[in-house]
Amino acid sequence: MLRLALALSLLAGAAQAAPLAPGTAAFDDFVYSGRDPTDAPLAPGRYANPILKGFYPDPSVTRAGEDYYLVNSTFAWFPGIPVFHSKDLVNWTQIGNAIDRPGQLDFKRLAMSRAVFAPAITEHAGVFYILNTCVDCGGNFLVTARDPKGPWSDPVWLPQIDGIDTSLFFDDDGRGWIVNNGPPAGPSRYDGHRAISIQEYDPKAMTMVGPRSVLVDGGVDASARPIWIEGPHILKVDGRYYLTAAEGGTAEGHSQVVLRSDKVTGPYAPYAGNPILTQRDLPRDRAHPITSAGHADLVRTQSGEWWATFLAVRPYGDDTYNTGRETFLLPVAWKDGWPVILPPKTAIPLSAERPNLPAGPAPKVPTTGAFTVRETFDGQALGLDWMTMRIPAGRWWDLKDGALVLKARPDRLGGFEQPSIWARRQQHLDASAETTVRFAPKGGGDRAGIVALQNDAFFYALTVAGGEDGRSEVRLEKRAGDKDPVDGVVVARASLAGSAGGPVRLKITARGGRYDFAYAGDDGAWKSLAADQDGTILSTKVAGGFVGTMLGLYARADAR
């Protein structure tokens, strides 16, 4: 009965759908569903970690009255820097993207893990500031808005800053100070030797003023040759200044440390109990590990509690994960005048007691737990969580007659170009994504379908494509490194019956490190094209970089 229902649904969709314009592909829907082995019903008064599943790294959080706002890195995906709103630090709704216009930044042909690094958000005197670094595309900048939904301003560039991970602190007297990761004052003594610097910022002139000075050289214990101190934030509590920063790199050695001073410009003394957050002191063979925790940002609630957002990952194997670095939430305890997120050798809990705040509304698009999201493309615009590779130079997509219509252009997934792709994050270890595509290929290089992609060199593409006999086929291509052809190598293919351009259902299923690929044609019956494929090629460990796996809709045609 289910098979018959699917067949009737496909036929009905084909009858109702508007004719396709030449060289376009229409996607009638997109269904994402995911559930993790650790997902379980929550007891009253509890919340689940992570609070933002999937590729949501480098969280920064701020409070304005009774409202909380959070931003994340997006690197070379566009629109960039999602802006989330919450009333309770648990339920988060995306309300905008700070980088949402082609004229704001230019990502050129950068690799997917370049461009937009580690944004930091703060509010002062009714103005919201996001500081950020566009790596290899301009350097450090800030954007501002009166309403965090946007629009956000064009970038104001800060050329005086040499480094990354800028954040802005306003003191009680209204003076602004920017801290960032940068080179040490003298020669670098070892690989990963970095420093934290500070300089005053004039918000009226929107420029840096006064001298720059180094607050931390190397890390909290220079004798241990600490690496990659970064992601700094300053907060003021009871007249003292606290500098928190990540240390130890972004892999399993990641951590969060804190230092304290009586003056904003230092000197800063480290906490004897550092780090205040890490998972590197736990056994690697523990069940359902959460690792690589750090890059925290602290916020005080209106009820007086302190909480920290931070990134961590959930590997399914030996430091192998496809979902990228995710956003977690934990309470902060103050011990002898120092903030502590977790005591040593303490595992990050999968659930915890909720903040003492009125419960906020649940988002329409879930961000945590097990969920299914169905997109029917019947609105005026794509959802805020959809992104494309790099920044489009023109418009090659449309929402028309209940479908996402993509122009099949020559730009390729693996060519460091700007292909016709819109994608959303894989947010669970066990997940599926499926779509109905209508496409009539004219040649062997034409293809349109669904992809699982980590970057230009590592992806799977399950598409309706031009076959060798001139008929349409369903084809699975895989690229597992720079040595593979740009379009990937053909893993499997099968001829399609029926008229060209008719609806075909395509499905990708992720099971940790294994992926399955299936299709359904006119009869509505699912057929396996390739099962048990190597999904570790989509992991950060294999593919490298700082992003996570994206599941998207893609169309391409050879230039003719």
- pLDDT for 10 equals 44
pLDDT band at 355 (very low <50, low <70, confident <90, very high): very high
Report the predicted TM-score, pTM, of the whole model to 2 decimal places: 0.95
pLDDT band at 11 (very low <50, low <70, confident <90, very high): very low
d(CA 547, CA 140): 20
Place of tokens 């649940």: 362
Residue 82 pLDDT exceeds 60: yes
pLDDT band at 40 (very low <50, low <70, confident <90, very high): very high
Least trusted range by pLDDT, from 14-23, 132-141, 193-202: 14-23
> How does DSSP assign 244-310, residue by residue?
EEEES-SSTT-EEEEEEESSTT---EE-TT--SEESTTS-TTSSS--EEEEEEEEEE-TTS-EEEEE
d(CA 330, CA 318): 25
239-270 confidence digits (pLDDT tens): 999 999 999 999 999 999 999 999 999 999 99
Place of tokens 């700007």: 418
More confident residue, 171 or 11: 171
Backbone torsions φ then ψ of 481, nearest 5 degrees: 135, 170
The arithmetic mean of pLDDT across residues 185-189, rounded, is 91
Which residues are designated catalytic?
A: 58, 230
Label residues 387-423 b or e (16+ Cβ within 10 Å = b).
Answer: bbbbbeeeebbeeeebbbbbbbbebbbbebbbbbbbb
Report the share of the chain in percent with pLDDT over 90: 92
- pLDDT for 497 equals 82
Tally: H helices and E strands in the chain: 2, 40
pLDDT band at 522 (very low <50, low <70, confident <90, very high): confident
The arithmetic mean of pLDDT across residues 161-185, rounded, is 96
Using alpha carbons only, give the angle 331, 333, 336 rounded to the nearest 5 degrees. Answer: 165
pLDDT band at 16 (very low <50, low <70, confident <90, very high): low
What is the enclosing helix (H) or strand (E) of 380?
A: none
* Four-residue CA torsion sign, 363, 369, 371, 375: positive
More confident residue, 21 or 413: 413
- pLDDT for 17 equals 61
Residues 6+ apart with CB under 8 A from 356: 301, 303, 305
Report the share of the chain in percent with pLDDT over 70: 96
Do 23 and 416 form a contact (C-beta atoms < 8 A)? no
Least trusted range by pLDDT, from 16-20, 57-61, 222-226, 398-402: 16-20
360-383 confidence digits (pLDDT tens): 999 999 999 999 999 999 999 999
d(CA 143, CA 150): 10
Average pLDDT, the chain: 95
The arithmetic mean of pLDDT across residues 312-338, rounded, is 97
Which of 499, 401, 419 has the alpha carbon at shortest distance from 459? 419
The full set of domains in the chain, from first to last, is: 2-35+370-556 (2.60.120.200), 62-288 (2.115.10.20)
- pLDDT for 500 equals 76
- pLDDT for 469 equals 77
439-483 confidence digits (pLDDT tens): 999 988 999 999 999 999 999 999 999 987 778 999 999 999 999
Residue 288 pLDDT exceeds 90: yes
The arithmetic mean of pLDDT across residues 199-225, rounded, is 95
Residue 509 pLDDT exceeds 80: yes
Do 157 and 138 form a contact (C-beta atoms < 8 A)? yes
